[in-house]
Amino acid sequence: MTGNTDFDLFKTSEEHEELRAAVRAVAEDKIAPHAAEVDEKSEFPQAALDALVASDFHAPHIPEEYDGVGADALATCIVIEEVARACVSSSLIPAVNKLGSMPVILGASEEVKAKYLPPVARGEAMFSYGLSEREAGSDTAGMKCKATADGDDFILNGQKSWITNAGVSQFYTVMAVTDPDGPRGRNITAFVVEKDDEGFTFGAPERKMGIKGSPTRELHFDNVRIPGDRMIGEPGEGLKIALRTLDHTRVTIGAQAIGVAQGALDYAIAYVKERKQFGKAIAEFQGLQFMLADMGMKLETARQMVYVAAAKSERGDADLTFFGAAAKCFAADVAMEVTTDAVQLLGGAGYVKDHPVERMMRDAKITQIYEGTNQIQRVVMARQLLKG
């Protein structure tokens, strides 16, 4: 054999696997027992937050210089994957902490980083992300939320929609138009908004199909005064920072997707081994074995894509945009397929809430929609391919 072949490229390190075991233990002991109730009551998973903070898994991506543990992108994905295996709503704690704070990490001044990252790292605050609006979802450049300069400050007016963990998070990265006459997409600036800012309120919680334990609400801004030193990056850089953020955080949605798929597959395997029909375990029927084989094959393919994208995120590779979109898109489609098949494998039992697979199926659906629908991911991938 010739050439310089690195056989460790597709192998997680011993540290990563030790981390997986530690997160899985926390998830199975402290998070999974509450998952059904969190879903049933649409309650924020406080027990999960407490357990994640106690083990430093709530925002593992924050660098050590800001009181964080400095986990790499793959380690952060493993945390999210293992929590999602037990409860997707709870996995949105580390995932959205990364989504909300990533613009600060990528684009903010040292002063803004030093002010807002340490409280999140210590578990004293959470960070959400305000980009989408009612009429500006996939078309983010079409946003109407506006920040008007007033001396050194800005006055924020408008709304944001579909904001994960809204009302629970203390900090919000919010994108707003600061130059209404400027070029589309280059007239948007990012700011940090604090929960107790005067004039900042929340809409009613959305009534959702899945991820019911993670509150989703609108943000409303009525003449909210934002000090100028809370700007993230330079004026007009907001959308660029937002899209760079998504390149990194789409990978975490891929991790969430493979987590819920793994949880559903694990449960289905245990069930078909125990369930008997025609005098034998249904796991012995070849038709079901073929379903399990396809589920496992597609899940492992998705996992490899997510891990490769995570490595590219850590390195900041030039092709991250394609790989982040591809990993999120493929993993989300696989999660929907695997969770649906898990329900099918349980038959009538899969359709009732006595078993977790119907919740997993409902939770999986959102991974095809948020942080860019899978149709938009395909647009992103095609543009990258056409650019060469």
Interior/surface letters 352-375, b for 16+ CB within 10 angstroms, e for the rest: eeebbbbbbbbbbbbbbebbbebe
Alpha carbon distance 101, 91 (integer Å)? 16
pLDDT > 90? residue 10:
no
Percent of the chain with pLDDT over 90: 96
Chain position carrying tokens 């391919």: 385
Structure tokens at 145: 């939320």
Three-class secondary structure of residue 372 per DSSP:
coil
Give yes or no: 218 in active site. no
The distance of Cα 336 from the centroid of its chain, to the nearest Å, equals: 16
pLDDT > 70? residue 41:
yes
pLDDT tens-digit readout, 360-380: 999 999 999 999 999 999 999
276 and 381 co-located in one domain: yes
Alpha carbon distance 380, 322 (integer Å)? 7
pLDDT tens-digit readout, 243-272: 999 999 999 999 999 999 999 999 999 999
- The sign of the CA dihedral 348, 260, 337, 299 is negative
Residue 3: band (very low, low, confident or very high) from pLDDT cuts 50, 70, 90 = very low
Q: What is the pTM of this model?
A: 0.96
Percent of the chain with pLDDT over 70: 97
Is the CB of residue 245 less than 8 Å from the CB of residue 99? Answer: yes
Mean pLDDT confidence for 144-151: 98
Q: Round the average pLDDT of the chain to a whole number and report it.
A: 96
pLDDT > 50? residue 6:
no
225 and 304 co-located in one domain: no
CATH number at residue 155: 2.40.110.10
User: Rounded to whole angstroms, what are the CA distances from 263 to 12, 55, 82, 295, 366?
Assistant: 20, 21, 9, 12, 16
pLDDT tens-digit readout, 194-240: 999 999 999 999 999 999 999 999 999 999 999 999 999 999 999 99
Q: How far apart are the first and last CA of the chain?
A: 31
Alpha carbon distance 96, 158 (integer Å)? 22
Q: Are strands 276-277 and 200-202 parallel, antiparallel or unpaired?
A: unpaired
pLDDT tens-digit readout, 323-347: 999 999 999 999 999 999 999 999 9
pLDDT tens-digit readout, 215-224: 999 999 999 9
142 and 206 co-located in one domain: yes
259 and 231 co-located in one domain: no
Burial level of 86, CB count in 10 A (0-12/13-18/19+)? Answer: buried
pLDDT tens-digit readout, 69-104: 999 999 999 999 999 999 999 999 999 999 999 999
273 and 372 co-located in one domain: yes
216 and 315 co-located in one domain: no
7 within a domain of the structure (yes/no): no
User: Which of 81, 237, 358, 371 does the annotation list as catalytic?
Assistant: 371
Structure tokens at 263: 């949880």
Three-class secondary structure of residue 204 per DSSP:
coil
- Containing structural domain, residue 221: 127-235
pLDDT at 11: 81
99 and 163 co-located in one domain: no
244 and 231 co-located in one domain: no
The domain boundary, picked from 235, 261, 289, lies at 235
CATH number at residue 76: 1.10.540.10
Beta bridge partners of 139: none
145 and 215 co-located in one domain: yes
The domain boundary, picked from 73, 97, 121, lies at 121
| 136: phi then psi, degrees, rounded to nearest 5 | -140, 80
The domain boundary, picked from 66, 97, 121, lies at 121
